[in-house]
Structures are given as structure tokens and as C-alpha cells.
């Protein structure tokens, strides 16, 4: 009994050293003792441990005593001079320790949000693109396909080429519905990276990021290389080779991109208007020439006579023609990459108009080609539209068409650069890339670091492919279809993992299955036509993916390096360990906020596990609870937070209370108050009865 009393005094003295809360709790427990228990001869007072000196005593400690011991233990460990939350975790090596893995104790506070901070801050109007400007960014790449798609389709489909081009454009309506649903749920730049991040998690989102970046870079590379090749085919005595000309195109367009999003879009809009005007003039001139020179359509009849004879050959020609023709609509997949720069309610119209414009343009011009030129000239000629212009109106129209071809292909370079830059911006906001990617020029506001990296990667890919246009085009074909495949995967995961998210357009399963069949079939057809494209694409894709995975796993890699350093003989040299510790702490200096609605500890635990799994650089997690008044605060929210703070020694778990109703303006104000970007704001779930869409929260992530 004397040993028991000494132990209790020691516990009380330890509790006194930890501060007043323990002393108050101790006195409060003793004042509320049950008088009946006080008279019990078995224990001296309720909650006391049984008399161990009596071997016949089997009375267990009461609930009050057990709770008291828990509080004493936590208070004692909370004031541990070494600062460790747990003692039972032993290092694997006898020469190492894990003190550097301790994140610190959490805290609780009430946030005071001024009323003026609750006013939402929206994008400035001059940064938003209208329908024409937004259409032109992707339209230059899609409409520019007429200069390099026609000969490829004609070589496989022959006189059926206009039908193949029309079907390829109509197949985009499958993907339009899917892309509208995805964009209405998450209206953020980044395309598949953002979609998969919201619906699946960080690892799968990096696959989307690698595919989107590779598609944007290859779009720019193919457009620049095709423009230089097209110009070299028209001008016999160029002072530069096609390789030097491609590099000059990249340098010049990078300077244009430094002018900013709005100014770059104005240039692309001018190019798009000039292109459509030129194609309209070419179509009118071709119709007039056809009516005058060949009123009986003898050329068209001769071309039709060369069609495949058997049904099997006809089906094969149509199939491979459609597989190649769908590459003529490249650029359509880039539209979600700059959706934040579009004005609201213009995205649907942009997608619809892109399909209509390209379908009319490709079908009409290809039909005119077979009505005026023989099949041999179409399938073997690289600059078939220039030949058509020369035949229909003369040299002057041919010069205009060549000028238009170079300008619209360079507009396709701008499409790829802007899509890659927007993705770099999103990755930097999510702290996957350094914050230097968000640096902007003082007058134009353009992200020059992201732009330089986009152009640099395009040049690197061009050099790695041996400056071979066919090799780059092979990468382009697979990358383009892989992005479309990820759109279908993102939509499917949205329906499975986030069914309660609000989104006005709903894609039916018939549309989703149809899109899946289309992309897999055309993908297989292109692989059969060019098997070498698979190896080039896989190598390029995995290099980009491994870089993203390594950047995301920096804390894990550095933690492994620290453990190996401690376990090795190098542990005697403290300078190396100090450098690794600085790098490790810097890599884990991120704070993440989780908006919690109630005090369900299971939900809190699952949210923490999700953050730990998808955000390895998170050192501090802040549970934020919005309350209307103090009486409505869940009673167990603070105790459960303290319990989880003890259970996760590698993460500091804070608790913050903010008065108000959960809404986008409150999330934005809290983000500024806590200095946590909205991309690090996590929401448990958003029900359908929520008054706002996920896009209104400016990058907040749904994690459950």
C-alpha cells in the first residue's frame, strides 16, 4: 500500500509539472467520489488500484481511475523533454534513432475571420477568354490537320477518305459528353491530372499528368516540325534546314507566349480567322474550277473506279482510314487544360463548334480534292492543298495557302505550349513542382519558367527522336489516344467513387462504353499500322512518369536515406546526416487542412490515412470545423483529435474552429488565414444538396 501511495504521489507530482488542467481534473474527480465506494473496505477510494498486498483482492480499477491514468500518461508524455509521442517504437538498428521522424504536438485554436475576408476573390475579367479566343486555341491544332492528315488517310482509304474524316469528327460527340461532365465537376486546369486526383488519388493522377504533359509537348513538336517541312516543300532555296527552322519556330513562339494568356489567345484568334477565310476561299475557288473544267466529273469517276472491289477490302480501308483520320482532330483533348481561362458557360459551345467546324472543313476539302486531282497526286503528295490551290486559282492562291499552312501550324505549337504551361502551373500549385513555376513576368503576367520548360521539353523530344517527323508523329498518335482513354477512365471512376458530387450533365453508360470501344479500336488500328510507335511512346511516357513519381516521393526517399545512413558506419559523420535532415524537413514542410463536419473518429482516421497515402510531404494536418455557434460544436471532436495526434507521431494534428457556414468564401478566407493553398484544402465529401459545385471551391480536394 505504501508503494501504491508513493506511485500516486509521483503521478500527481508529474501531473503538477504538466500544468493546471491535470490538477483541476484530479481534484474534480476526487470531489465527485461515490460515498458508497468510499466505505468499501476493498479499495481506499473509487478509482484507486486494488491493494496488491492482498492476494485475494481481484477488484479492477474503476472507469474514473482508468481515465485519470490515461490523462496522466498523456500529460507526462506531452511534456517529455525529448518531445516524443511514443516510446514503444524501437529503431531497427541499435546505432540509430527516430527522433527526426517526430513531427511535434498539435494545438487547438479558434480562428477569427473578418467579414471583409469572406468576400470571394474571383479572376479578373481581362484574363478570361471569350468563345472565339477559346475556340481558336484548340481550333488551330484541329483545323491545321488538313495539311498533314489528307495524304495519310488517302493512302489507306482512297476515295473513301471524305467518309472516314466525317466519321472521325462525329465520333468526338462520344467524348464531348464525357468531357462536359468532367469539366462541370472539376473546372480546373490540368485535365486528366486534376480529374484523377479528385476521383482516384495521387498515384493515378500522376499517370494522367504524364500523359497530358506528353500530349501537349508532342503537339507542339509535331506542329513545329510539320510547319518547317511544309515550308521546305514549297520554297526550294531555304537559307536554313528544316531542323534549324523548327528550332527558330520554337524560339519565336516562346517569345509570343511571354506576352501572356490573353495576348497569346488574341494572336491565335487572328491566325484562326485567317485560316478559316483561306480555306473558305480555297473551297469556293475549287468549286468554280470544277464546274468550269470538269462539268461531267470525269476525275471523280476515275478516282471512284479505283475503290476496293471486295467487301472485306472496303471494310479494311474504312477501318484504317478512320483510325488515321481521328488523328486529324488532335487538339480537342487540349481544351480542358486551359478551362480556367475561359469565360463561364462557354466550354460546351467551344467543344460543339470545334466538332462542327472541323467536320465541315475536312469533309468538304477532301471531297473537292478527289473531284479535281487524281488519287496518285493526293496519296503521294505532301502539300496537296497547295497543289489544289494552284490548280483552282493559280500561283497567288497557292502562296496564300502556304502562308496559312505555316501560320496555323504554328498556332498548333501555341496550343501545345499553353496546355503544357497550364499543367505546370497546376502541378506547382499542388506543390509537386517547385514554386518557381508560378513566377510571372511583371507586365504580362505569364509564367515564364513554365513556358520555358514546355518549349525546352518539346525541343528535347525533337532531338531525342533524331529530328525525324515520322518518329514524333508516331508518339503523337499513341499519346493523343491515350489521353482520350484516360478521359473515359476518369469518368468511370467519377461514377464509382464520387457518385454524390453535383454535376449538371450526366453521361450515360451507353456513351461511356461507346467511347471506350472507339478509343480502344482506333488505338489498336494505329498500333497495327505503326508498331514502332508503341515502344517510343512507352519509353517517353515512363521517363516522364518516373520523374513525377520521384518528385512526389521525395520525403519517402529521404527517410529511407536517413535510415540507411543511421544503420551504416557513416553515422559517425554528423555533417552528412545534418544535410539529409535539412532536406527531409524541407520536403515535409507542407500543411493540409481537412474540413470535418462531426466528431466520428472513424471518419477522421480514414481522412488522415487518405492524406498520409496521397500527400507524403504533409507534416501538419489541420482539422477545420465550421460551427454556427459554440453550443453546436461536437463534444468529442477535440478529444478525438488529441487521440489521433498521439497515434500519428509523424504528423502534427491541429484543430481549428471557424464560425460560419461551410461555403467557398469561408474556405477561401480560411485558406488565407492559415496560409494554406486551396489545393491543400480537403473535404470529406460534398453531397448533392450542397449549394455549390466542387469547382467553386477553387481546387479543394474530395478525399472520401
The DSSP string of 495-552 is: HHH-TTS--SS---HHHHHHHHHHHHHHHHHHHHH-THHHHHHHHHHHHHHHHHHHHH
Does the domain formed by 129-551 have CATH 1.20.1740.10? yes
pLDDT in tens, 215-235: 888 888 888 888 888 888 777
Q: Nearest to residue 189, comparing CAs of 13, 36, 341? A: 341
Whether the per-residue pLDDT at 100 is higher than 70: the answer is no
| Separation of alpha carbons 269 and 132, rounded Å | 7
Q: At what angle do helices 395-429 and 384-392 cross, to 10 degrees?
A: 150
State residue 3's pLDDT score. 45
pLDDT digits (tens, 9 = 90+) for 350-374: 899 999 999 999 999 999 999 998 8
Q: Specify the DSSP element, H or E, that contains 271.
A: helix 261-293
- pLDDT at site 410: 82
Beta-carbon contacts of 608 under 8 Å, excluding residues fewer than 6 positions away, are 594, 621, 644, 648, 651, 653
Secondary-structure percent of the chain, ordered helix, strand, coil, rounded to 5 = 70, 5, 25
DSSP state of 375: H
Angle (CA) 487 493 499, round 5°:
120
Q: Which three cell numbers stand for residue 405?
A: 499552312
User: What is the C-alpha separation between 425 and 432, in angstroms, rounded?
Assistant: 10
pLDDT at residue 573 greater than cutoff 70: no
Q: Is the pLDDT of residue 661 over 90?
A: no
Q: Which residue has the cell 523533454?
A: 81
Residue 309 confidence (pLDDT) = 83
User: pLDDT (tens digit, 9 = 90+) per residue, 418-469?
Assistant: 788 888 888 888 888 888 888 877 776 777 788 888 888 888 888 877 777 7
The secondary structure of 434-451, three-state, reads: CHHHHCECCCCCCEHHHH
- Compute the average pLDDT of residues 238-259: 79
Helix (H) or strand (E) holding 652: strand 652-659
602-658 pLDDT, tens digit each: 999 998 988 888 887 788 889 999 888 888 888 888 888 888 888 887 788 899 999
- More confident call, 583 vs 8: 583
Q: How many residues does the chain have?
A: 704
Cα dist from 288 to 274, 293, 393, 397, whole Å:
21, 9, 9, 14
Alpha-carbon distance of 83 to 491, in angstroms, equals 46
* Mean pLDDT of all residues in 514-523: 88
The pLDDT assigned to 328 comes to 80
The set of residues, in sequence order, having a beta carbon less than 8 Å from that of 383 and lying 6+ positions away, is 147, 230, 233, 234, 402, 405
Could you tell me which of 668, 666, 670, 665 has the C-alpha nearest to residue 654? 670
Q: CA end-to-end span of the chain, whole Å?
A: 52
Residue in the structure block whose three cell numbers are 499519346 = 479
Q: DSSP assignment of 502-514, as one string?
A: --SS---HHHHHH
- What is the distance between the alpha carbons of residues 67 and 258, in angstroms, rounded to a whole number? 64
Per residue in 187-207, pLDDT tens? 887 788 888 988 888 888 899
Torsion, Cα of 457, 458, 459, 462 (10° steps) = 120
Segment 477-490 shows an average pLDDT of 88
Q: Is 505 exposed, middle or buried (0-12, 13-18, 19+ CB in 10 A)?
A: middle
Other beta carbons within 10 angstroms of residue 404's beta carbon come to: 24
3-state SS, residue 62: coil
Give the full edge-to-edge strand order of the sheet including 681-683: 108-111, 652-659, 618-627, 590-595, 681-683, 701-702
Helices (H), 144-201: 146-157, 161-170, 172-185, 192-199
* The three three-digit cell numbers of residue 544, written as one number: 516522364
CA distance 385 to 144: 12
pLDDT at position 41, please?
39
Residue 79: pLDDT band (50, 70, 90) is very low
Based on DSSP, count helices (H) and strands (E) in the chain, helices before strands. Answer: 27, 6
Check: CB of residue 701 under 8 Å from CB of residue 201.
no
The residue-averaged pLDDT of 323-327 equals 84
Contact 478, 527 (CB under 8 A): yes
Contact indicator for 230, 467 with CB cutoff of 8 Å: no
Write the CB contacts of 475 (distance below 8 Å, at least 6 apart in sequence): 214, 218, 461, 465, 533, 536, 537, 540
In eight-state DSSP terms, residue 342 is: B
pTM surpassing 0.85? no
Classify domain 90-111+588-704 at the CATH topology level. Answer: Rossmann fold (3.40.50)
Amino acid at each position: 500500500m505504501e508503494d501504491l501511495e508513493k506511485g500516486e504521489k509521483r503521478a500527481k507530482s508529474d501531473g503538477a509539472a504538466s500544468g493546471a488542467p491535470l490538477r483541476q481534473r484530479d481534484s474534480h474527480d476526487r470531489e465527485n467520489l461515490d460515498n458508497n465506494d468510499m466505505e468499501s473496505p476493498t479499495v481506499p477510494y473509487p478509482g484507486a488500484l486494488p491493494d496488491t498486498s492482498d492476494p485475494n483482492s481481484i477488484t479492477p480499477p474503476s472507469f474514473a481511475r482508468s481515465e485519470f491514468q490515461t490523462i496522466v500518461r498523456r500529460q507526462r508524455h506531452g511534456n517529455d523533454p525529448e518531445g516524443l509521442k511514443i516510446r514503444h517504437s524501437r529503431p531497427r538498428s541499435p546505432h540509430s534513432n527516430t527522433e527526426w521522424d517526430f513531427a511535434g504536438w498539435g494545438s487547438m485554436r479558434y480562428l477569427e475571420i473578418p467579414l471583409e475576408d469572406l468576400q470571394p476573390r474571383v479572376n479578373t475579367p481581362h484574363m478570361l477568354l471569350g468563345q472565339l479566343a477559346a475556340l481558336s486555341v484548340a481550333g488551330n491544332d484541329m483545323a491545321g490537320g488538313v495539311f498533314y492528315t489528307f495524304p495519310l488517310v488517302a493512302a489507306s482509304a482512297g476515295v473513301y477518305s471524305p467518309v472516314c474524316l466525317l466519321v472521325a469528327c462525329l465520333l468526338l460527340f462520344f467524348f464531348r459528353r464525357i468531357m462536359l461532365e468532367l469539366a462541370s465537376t472539376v473546372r480546373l486546369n490540368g485535365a486528366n491530372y486534376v480529374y484523377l486526383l479528385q476521383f482516384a488519388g495521387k498515384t493515378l493522377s500522376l499517370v494522367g499528368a504524364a500523359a497530358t504533359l506528353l500530349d501537349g509537348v508532342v503537339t507542339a513538336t509535331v506542329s513545329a516540325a510539320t510547319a518547317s517541312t511544309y515550308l521546305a516543300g514549297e520554297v526550294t532555296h531555304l537559307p536554313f534546314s528544316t531542323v534549324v527552322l523548327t528550332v527558330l519556330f520554337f524560339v519565336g513562339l516562346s517569345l509570343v507566349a511571354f506576352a501572356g494568356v490573353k495576348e497569346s489567345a488574341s494572336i491565335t484568334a487572328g491566325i484562326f480567322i485567317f485560316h478559316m477565310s483561306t480555306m473558305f476561299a480555297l473551297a469556293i475557288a475549287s468549286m468554280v474550277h470544277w464546274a468550269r473544267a470538269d462539268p461531267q466529273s470525269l476525275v471523280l469517276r476515275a478516282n471512284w473506279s479505283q475503290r476496293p472491289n471486295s467487301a472485306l477490302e472496303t471494310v479494311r480501308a474504312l477501318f484504317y482510314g478512320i483510325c488515321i483520320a481521328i488523328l486529324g482532330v488532335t487538339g480537342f483533348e487540349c481544351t480542358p487544360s486551359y478551362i480556367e481561362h475561359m469565360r463561364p458557360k462557354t466550354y460546351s459551345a467551344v467543344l460543339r463548334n470545334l466538332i462542327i467546324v472541323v467536320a465541315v472543313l475536312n469533309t468538304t476539302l477532301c471531297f473537292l480534292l478527289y473531284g479535281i486531282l487524281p488519287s496518285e497526286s493526293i496519296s503521294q503528295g505532301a502539300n496537296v492543298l497547295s497543289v489544289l490551290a494552284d490548280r483552282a486559282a493559280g500561283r497567288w492562291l497557292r502562296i496564300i495557302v502556304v502562308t496559312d499552312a505555316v501560320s496555323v501550324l504554328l498556332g498548333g505549337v501555341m496550343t501545345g505550349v499553353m496546355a503544357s504551361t497550364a499543367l505546370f502551373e497546376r502541378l506547382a500549385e499542388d506543390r509537386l513542382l517547385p514554386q518557381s513555376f508560378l513566377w510571372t513576368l511583371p507586365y504580362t503576367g505569364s509564367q515564364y519558367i513554365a513556358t520555358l520548360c514546355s518549349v525546352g521539353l518539346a525541343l528535347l523530344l525533337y532531338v531525342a527522336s533524331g529530328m525525324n517527323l515520322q518518329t514524333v508523329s508516331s508518339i503523337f498518335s499513341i499519346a493523343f489516344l491515350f489521353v482520350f482513354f484516360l478521359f473515359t477512365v476518369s469518368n468511370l471512376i467519377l461514377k464509382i467513387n464520387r457518385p454524390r458530387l453535383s454535376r449538371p450533365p450526366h453521361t450515360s453508360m451507353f456513351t461511356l462504353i461507346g467511347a471506350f470501344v472507339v478509343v480502344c479500336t482506333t488505338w489498336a488500328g494505329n498500333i497495327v499500322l505503326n508498331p514502332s510507335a508503341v515502344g517510343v511512346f512507352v519509353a517517353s511516357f515512363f521517363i516522364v512518369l518516373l520523374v513525377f513519381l520521384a518528385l512526389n516521393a521525395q520525403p519517402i526517399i529521404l527517410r529511407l536515406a536517413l535510415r540507411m545512413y543511421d544503420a551504416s558506419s557513416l553515422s559517425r559523420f554528423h555533417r552528412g546526416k545534418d544535410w539529409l535532415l535539412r532536406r527531409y524537413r524541407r520536403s515535409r514542410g507542407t500543411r493540409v487542412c481537412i474540413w470535418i463536419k462531426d466528431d466520428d473518429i472513424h471518419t477522421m482516421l480514414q481522412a488522415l490515412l487518405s492524406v498520409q497515402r496521397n500527400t507524403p510531404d504533409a507534416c501538419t494536418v489541420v482539422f477545420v470545423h465550421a460551427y454556427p455557434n459554440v453550443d453546436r460544436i461536437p463534444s468529442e471532436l477535440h478529444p478525438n483529435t488529441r487521440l489521433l495526434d498521439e497515434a500519428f507521431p509523424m504528423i502534427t494534428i491541429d484543430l481549428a474552429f471557424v464560425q460560419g457556414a461551410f461555403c467557398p468564401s469561408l474556405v477561401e478566407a480560411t485558406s488565407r488565414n492559415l496560409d494554406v493553398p486551396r489545393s491543400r484544402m480537403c473535404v470529406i465529401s460534398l453531397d448533392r444538396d450542397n449549394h455549390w459545385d466542387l469547382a467553386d471551391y477553387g481546387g479543394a480536394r474530395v478525399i472520401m
